[in-house]
Amino acid sequence: MKNPPSFSTSELEIALRAGDRVALSRCITLAESDRASDQKKTATLLSRIHSHTGRSIRIGISGVPGAGKSTWINVFGSMLTRQGLKVAVLTIDPSSEKTRGSILGDKTRMDDLARDPLAFIRPSPSRSILGGVTSHTREAILLCEAAGYEVILVETVGVGQSETAVRHMVDFFLLMLIGGAGDELQGIKKGIIEMADGILVNKADGASLGAATRARAELLQALHLYEQSSGEWKTRVLLTSAAEKKGLEESWQMILDFKDTTTSSGQWATQRSSQQLRWMEEYFNHQVQHSLQSNAAVRKQLKALGSNVENGQLNPVAAANTLFKIWSKTGRQK
Ligand code: GDP
Element (H, E) at 191: helix 190-195
CA distance linking residue 20 with residue 147, whole number of Å: 7
Burial label, 50 (beta-carbon count in 10 A; 0-12, 13-18, 19+): exposed
pLDDT of residue 322: 93
The edge-to-edge listing of strands for the beta sheet with 57-62 is 119-122, 87-92, 151-156, 57-62, 172-178, 198-202, 236-239
Regarding the beta carbon of 71 and ligand 1, being less than 6 Å apart is answered yes
Tell me: domain 54-264, CATH 3.40.50.300, correct? yes
The CA 97 to ligand 1 mean position distance, Å, reads 23
pLDDT of residue 292: 85
Per-residue pLDDT, averaged over 47-58, amounts to 95
Number of Cβ within a 10 Å radius of residue 334 = 9
Regarding the beta carbon of 180 and ligand 1, being less than 6 Å apart is answered no
User: Is the per-residue pLDDT at 109 higher than 90?
Assistant: no
What does the domain layout of the chain look like in residue ranges? Answer: 8-52, 54-264, 278-330
| pLDDT tens figures, 62-102 | 987 889 999 999 999 999 999 999 999 998 876 544 444 44
268-273 long-range contacts, CB within 8 A, separation 24+: 268/171, 271/171, 271/230, 272/54, 272/171
Mutate to test the pocket of ligand 1, among 64, 69, 71, 209 (most ligand atoms within 8 A of CB): 71
CA separation, residue 309 to residues 17, 83, 302, 312 (Å)? 54, 62, 10, 5
- Confidence band for 34, pLDDT divided at 50, 70 and 90: confident
User: Is the per-residue pLDDT at 267 higher than 80?
Assistant: yes
The CA 202 to ligand 1 mean position distance, Å, reads 8
Per-residue pLDDT, averaged over 294-309, amounts to 91
Tell me: domain 8-52, CATH 3.30.200.20, correct? no
Regarding the beta carbon of 68 and ligand 1, being less than 6 Å apart is answered yes
Of the candidates 111, 71, 116, the residue with the CA atom closest to the CA atom of residue 245: 71
Q: Give the nearest ligand 1 atom to 67 CA.
A: 3
- Residue 278: partners with Cβ closer than 8 Å, 6 or more residues away: 168
Q: Do domains 54-264 and 278-330 have the same CATH topology?
A: no
CATH of 278-330, one of 1.10.101, 3.30.1360, 1.10.287, 1.10.10: 1.10.287
The CA 72 to ligand 1 mean position distance, Å, reads 8
